[in-house]
Amino acid sequence: MPKQKRKIVIVNDKMQRGYAYELSESTGRNFDPAFKPELTPKEMLALGVFGGKYMTDCRKEFPADWFEKAKLNSEFNDPKLNFFGINASQPLSVWKKKGWIWADDPRGWFQWYCRYYLGRRCEDDARQIKRWKAIIRHIAQIKKNCPSTRLRTSRKGDLNCRARQRQAVLHWAYDSRKM
């Protein structure tokens, strides 16, 4: 498949004014070989992530179909909108204090992922992919502590087991429903 024609995206939302980035890859393609997310941004939004508050003022930047089934609430963070019905997020102030925020993506990892998925490539890619890979420690804890034999069924796991950790893992594009 040929590379897409380069496109410039201009962002004007509550957190960025006049920020521009280039899409140099086709949407959903040509990811770093070490980066293999299990969910697309569209799937994550439909499942329920970040209490529905995360993407309410920047919809113009992303494809409209991402929001057709998205669980959003522009008024406040509503954990009931999350797939596991629980808050698994830390405030943006904590993210900033820990140095997790890159200036070009002031909303954090998910904003980086949405833009990466669209086709942006940038100098922060390696750091963000490294952070994504580090979530494997949470996946290991879910698998260790929530074996399928808990329910004595053929399901892969008890979705109520470690719900907060499962929601957090979902925020990182790993499908914690299948663990």
* Separation in Å, CA 38 to CA 20, 60, 67, 92: 28, 25, 19, 25
More confident residue, 150 or 56: 56
What pLDDT score was predicted for residue 135? Answer: 96
What pLDDT score was predicted for residue 179? Answer: 86
DSSP letters of 104-141?
Answer: TBTT-HHHHHHHHHHTB--TTHHHHHHHHHHTHHHHHH
What pLDDT score was predicted for residue 3? Answer: 56
What pLDDT score was predicted for residue 55? Answer: 82
Of 141, 126, 116, 127, nearest to 37 by C-alpha is: 116
pLDDT in tens, 112-165: 999 999 999 999 999 999 999 999 999 999 988 887 644 544 345 588 899 999
Rounded CA gap, 164 and 108, in Å? 19
The burial of 121, by beta-carbon neighbours within 10 Å (0-12 exposed, 13-18 middle, 19 or more buried), is given as: middle
Least confident range of 3-17, 55-69, 147-161: 147-161
Token pair for residue 137?
């420690």
Domains of the chain by residue range: 7-26+35-178
Element of type H or E holding 18:
strand 17-23
What pLDDT score was predicted for residue 155? Answer: 45
Residues listed for the chain: 179
End-to-end CA distance of the chain: 33
Q: The whole model's pTM is what?
A: 0.90
